[in-house]
A and B are shown apart, each in its own frame.
Chain A
């Protein structure tokens, strides 16, 4: 029986060495290029450099108060719109400050009502649009100091909280105000995570709430407040750390006892009820002596009451600010 054996490989079938080398070079080049592209994709996906988002709507002219805009304090340059709207602490949307704007883009803020109730003569529910028509939005250029050690200068459009509280006529027994943020995990996706005890509640003493610097803001740079900054209505208390200024407020309650506020409940040693900006009271894990103004590279010294001492220091006369931090 004859077994057919395959013929030996003919000389002409042996691949030329040059070709082998060039094929290997090609494969290696492809491996480098492919993996570098994949790594770049991974970097963009995981470490995600911040993205810019579209600007919001101008405020209707009839809502804006015809008061001359306050002259900014020397040394304070207003932060850019892009900075204010792309670097946000809003844990209901994301714990990543760079990511909040993206998640917020889909957040619908109308219809929206704010219930004002508790120890007052005339508790009632306000439609947010009615509120803006009732109380014209004044421009207030405030410094904002975050407890994390950065700050901004922000031109808000808002009205004093006092005007709203006067409307419901607080009782003499009312000593505190608590402000509650919307709780709706379908619209605020990070509320499905128990990163903080939801809903977000912040609070002020009544005299702090009635102070003329304390405002409810509905606009920014003369435009409708974008969701990442707390639309449609947020508190702004410029002499306290930023987290005291609750966003997307749905309920305001007048009480006779100190409200149990979110960050204070989460970590009482780190976040006091008052949380007035104070360079001499460090956060247990970091110093509060200096801050980075967004847009600047170096750091500048932090000022007591965020520089609003002349206006607000009397509220705390005789109090030990290290104890009541």
Chain B
């Protein structure tokens, strides 16, 4: 793919990724987020973070199955988009939801498994975002791949976090859980097959 085309595809991706954020912002400004805006924003940004995480993890299998090596060039952006939505999610939780009540937050983190798993997911995301630069990739060499394999841990923590938060209808967390399970399964199966040029 020509560098010019790739740059365009990246811009296209970025424009579309911004759509939910812009619409949430517009609805918030018009007081259109319903009775519990904080809960709505937390749900929406959490879902977007999970969605972009799933897309990030889909890149490698898609590249291999479709024979489209250029897809890899979108992976970092997708991962960072997931991180960006997770950052908004966590910021809203700390500020609007908990009013920066450190004692309450610490208490939640220790005693409420759903908060614990959410914090674990975010905590594991931070170093991945931190080491996403070209310089970090060069500096860390082989270790970079090992560090970034932890993205699967992030996925597991995030799904458990979502699962524990719902009261009875686990449909949405179950969808994410099956997507991640499928992607992980693909990785295990693929491991046994000799690498091809595209792999």
Q: Which residues of A contact B (CB under 8 A)?
A: 28, 31-32, 35-36, 39-40, 43-44, 47, 49-50, 79, 82-83, 86-87, 91, 95, 97-98, 147-148, 150, 195-196, 266, 282, 285-287, 289-290, 292, 294-295, 297-299
For A98, list chain B residues within 8 Å (CB). Answer: 34, 40
A313 CB to nearest chain B CB (Å): 27
Q: A43-B19, A86-B34, A86-B35 are contacts. A49–B114 as well, Cβ < 8 Å?
A: no
- Docked Cα-Cα span, A44 to B23, in Å, equals 9
B108 touches A35 (CB 8 A): no
Cβ–Cβ contact B111 & A40, under 8 A: no
| Interface pair B8/A87, CB less than 8 Å apart | no
B36 touches A35 (CB 8 A): no
Give A267's nearest chain B residue, CB to CB. Answer: B168
Q: Do the beta carbons of B19 and A83 come within 8 Å of each other?
A: no
Task: Decide if B16 touches A50 in the complex (CB within 8 Å).
Answer: no
Contact (A287, B169) CB under 8 Å given A28-B8, A43-B19, A49-B40: no
Contact A35 B12 (CB under 8 A): yes
**B16/A292 in contact, CB under 8 A:** no
Q: Once bound together, how far apart are the Cα atoms of A70 and B175, in whole Å? A: 48
Q: B163-192 toward A: CB 8 Å interface, digit per residue (1/0)?
A: 011011101000000000000000000000
Known: A285-B113, A286-B112, A287-B112. A294 touches B169 (CB 8 A): no
Which residues of the other chain, B, contact A95 by a CB distance below 8 angstroms?
Answer: 167-169, 171
Instruction: Say yes or no: is B47 at the interface (Cβ < 8 Å to chain A).
Output: yes
Interface-centre pick from A32, A43, A82, A289 (highest chain B CB count, 10 A) = A43
Residues of A within 8 A of B96 (CB): 297-298
Contact of A285 among B35, B44, B164 (CB under 8 A): B164
* Contact among B97, B107, B113, B168 for A287, CB-based, below 8 A: B107
Q: Which of B6-38 contact A (CB under 8 A)?
A: 8, 11-12, 15-16, 19-20, 23, 27, 32-36, 38
Interfacial residues of chain B within 79-111, with CB under 8 A of chain A in the complex: 96-99, 104, 107-108, 111
Q: In the complex, what residue of chain B is closest to A152 when comparing beta carbons? A: B35
Do A294 and B36 touch across chains, with their CB atoms under 8 A apart?
Answer: yes
Are the CB atoms of A40 and B36 closer together than 8 Å? no
Which residues of chain A come closer than 8 Å to B19, judged between CB atoms? 36, 39-40, 43
Residues in B with CB closer than 8 Å to A83 are 35
Question: Chain A: which residue is nearest B9 at the CB level?
Answer: A31
Contact of B20 with A47 in the complex, beta carbons under 8 Å:
yes
How many Å lie between the Cα of A267 and that of B31 in the bound state? Answer: 36
Instruction: Give Cα A50–Cα B36 distance, bound, in whole angstroms.
Output: 10
Q: Give the size category of B's interface with A.
A: 35 or more
Say whether, besides A39-B19, A86-B34, A297-B38, A287 and B44 are in contact (CB < 8 Å). no
Please give me the residue from chain B that is nearest to A147 by CB atom.
B167
Q: Which of B33, B113, B164, B169 contacts A49 (CB 8 A)?
A: B33
- Residues from chain A with a CB closer than 8 A to the CB of B115 are 286
A285-B114 contact, Cβ under 8 Å, with A50-B33, A83-B35, A150-B36: yes
CB-based closest 6 A-B pairs: A50-B34, A87-B35, A95-B169, A83-B35, A39-B19, A39-B16
Residues of B within 8 A of A32 (CB): 11-12, 15
Q: Are B104 and A50 in contact (CB under 8 A)?
A: no
Note all chain A residues with C-beta closer than 8 A to B165: 285
Q: Which residue of A lies closest to B115 (CB)?
A: A286
A19 to chain B, nearest CB (A): 18
Residues in A with CB closer than 8 Å to B16 are 35-36, 39
Contact B112 A195, beta carbon cutoff 8 Å: no
Taking CB atoms, residues of chain B closer than 8 Å to A40 are 19, 23
The contact sample of 6 A-B pairs, CB cut-off 8 A, is A49-B23, A49-B34, A95-B167, A285-B164, A285-B165, A299-B98
CA distance A122 to B12 in the complex (A): 72
Given contacts A91-B168, A285-B113, A287-B112, contact A150 B39 (CB under 8 A): yes
Chain B contacts of A286 at CB under 8 A?
Answer: 108, 112, 114-115
> How many angstroms between the C-alpha atoms of A298 and B36 in the bound complex?
11
Taking CB as reference atom, which chain B residue is nearest A43?
B20
For residue A226, give the distance in angstroms from its CB to the closest CB of chain B.
14
